[in-house]
Structure 1
């Protein structure tokens, strides 16, 4: 039976490869977006954290989160802010198309619309603050938002490393917020709001101080990396929605940025340690995995959606990146 099924699948894929682009459009179905988690309560439910004490603000220690929480968080976008102070952790973290390993004394930032997923190993240590735009009176549309909260932008997607003194100072503030959250005092939310404002202000000082220490050339290179990621995100979104039909390449993206492909690759590799093509592949893989997990599209449909003219090549591309075929990945990870 297994051999018969494989033959049927191969027959279908071969027929798909011979279809013209117009014929393939008949197989094209509306795109299923990456899931959005709209509230802190919904995030707690999805991640297995129980119920937050308040729907707009929650402060807690990472080491006190239940062991039943997810080890792997699938790709998602949230609609709230989160600041995690890791004091000692083992976590593979993906934000956008950047994958990082988190260790000791660093800050991680999340904001509405940010694309991320993670896989933890062992117990995490540190503190986490979740809050909504309304609670903190944060307005991302305000003209001064980028300068007031630079860590809640694409430029702040990288982890902010801290020395021990800096980490201890922030930990003390976070602990004070946690004590207030779990107290029975009638004005505790007012106090937490004030402490949060101080917490954000201290982080801004640290962030601007550390970023301000970067040489002008390094700042310019970081700015190009952010522009590259923005253009890549926008292009892949258009590709998935059918507004584009050509797979992204470093040359194509360099043209959109108005620079040469060689210069783009040189800068991206200097800043991130990876060539521009690796960022493109990672972004493509994130979106492909999302469709495999969150849609009923057949593999051939997904291949066409991402600009692959040959399904066999798509399968080889996916397996090279993951060690699994698309169908194996879907069967193993789809809930």
Structure 2
């Protein structure tokens, strides 16, 4: 049974990896300096990004296992627990990492935008796989931050470190955009599966029991995080996942309004609307006419 190691501070994580603490709120880690160890469960109160050179067991977050291999970037945010399973023998960690406490970015521009970096809330099986060139760029950015940590702390330190972390995150967004395109074998068919999911949803009794399909519901059915799913659909269609769902609702509604035996209220309930007026409002927003007007025009 693995023990749980808690990391409340950067110093906690530095000690775990045999590193000197140069700054109380941020550190660049060279895992080759760490002592050999076995797998363990780790509870983080820190932001951590790992670029490991060796696979050190099955890396799990919650019930999901990382799509993890050499050259994979792993993102961890405060409150997450990682579990290195199936590694009972001693191994030598290898690779590099960046770890920082949330207090580091307070009062910086990064504090206002960090929630926009969706990869911190992607599921673990949606990790970022880097090319050799991308890996080198990550190491170069880590080196810039590490160089700053070697300097004496002054009034510029926090801003410079935070801005370089933000630059790193912006590159990670670019890498994810590339991955959405290049990993077609992984992402292929998601849009088709999404379309099938919606078709099956509206031909079932689920709208009565669940209501309108949410982005979170669809993502869960497709075994993706809501953020990753939303980003993927946006890249593929130019629409947000919510806009795509609403377009599907209107397409189905356009067919059903021609059933003269059903009232507009009945159709609204069939689609999952709690109140018919909400259906009428959305229909008019999307088509320019009410459902009854659309029925009479065709």
1:106 equivalenced with 2:72 (yes/no): yes
The aligned residue for residue 115 of structure 1 is 81
Question: SS at the partner of 1:127?
Answer: strand
Superposed CA deviations along residues 60-110 of structure 1, whole A, max 9, x for unmatched, are 2222x2325x42222x43111001122x21212111212347432110110
1:60 equivalenced with 2:29 (yes/no): yes
Q: Which of structures 1 and 2 has the bigger CA Rg? A: 2
TM-score (norm 2): 0.52
Deviation at 1:164, TM superposition (A): 0.9
Question: SS at the partner of 2:40?
Answer: strand
Picking from 39, 50, 54, the partner of 1:89 is 54
> Is residue 89–residue 102 contact of structure 1 (8 Å, CA) maintained in 2?
no
1:169 equivalenced with 2:128 (yes/no): no
> Is residue 72–residue 118 contact of structure 1 (8 Å, CA) maintained in 2?
yes
Question: SS at the partner of 1:60?
Answer: strand
The aligned residue for residue 320 of structure 1 is none
> Is residue 91–residue 101 contact of structure 1 (8 Å, CA) maintained in 2?
no
**Gaps (5+ residues) in structure 1?**
1-33, 223-254, 270-335
Query: Alignment length, in residue pairs?
Result: 194
Q: Larger relative contact order (C-alpha < 8 A, sep ≥ 6)?
A: 1
Distance 1:183 1:157, change over 3 A: farther
Superposed CA deviations along residues 262-294 of structure 1, whole A, max 9, x for unmatched, are x9999549xxxxxxxxxxxxxxxxxxxxxxxxx
Distance 1:84 1:55, change over 3 A: same
The aligned residue for residue 229 of structure 2 is none
Deviation at 1:202, TM superposition (A): 0.8
Question: SS at the partner of 2:70?
Answer: coil
Structural RMSD (CA): 4.0
C-alpha distance in 2, partners of 1:83/1:140? 16
> Is residue 150–residue 156 contact of structure 1 (8 Å, CA) maintained in 2?
no
TM-score (norm 1): 0.47
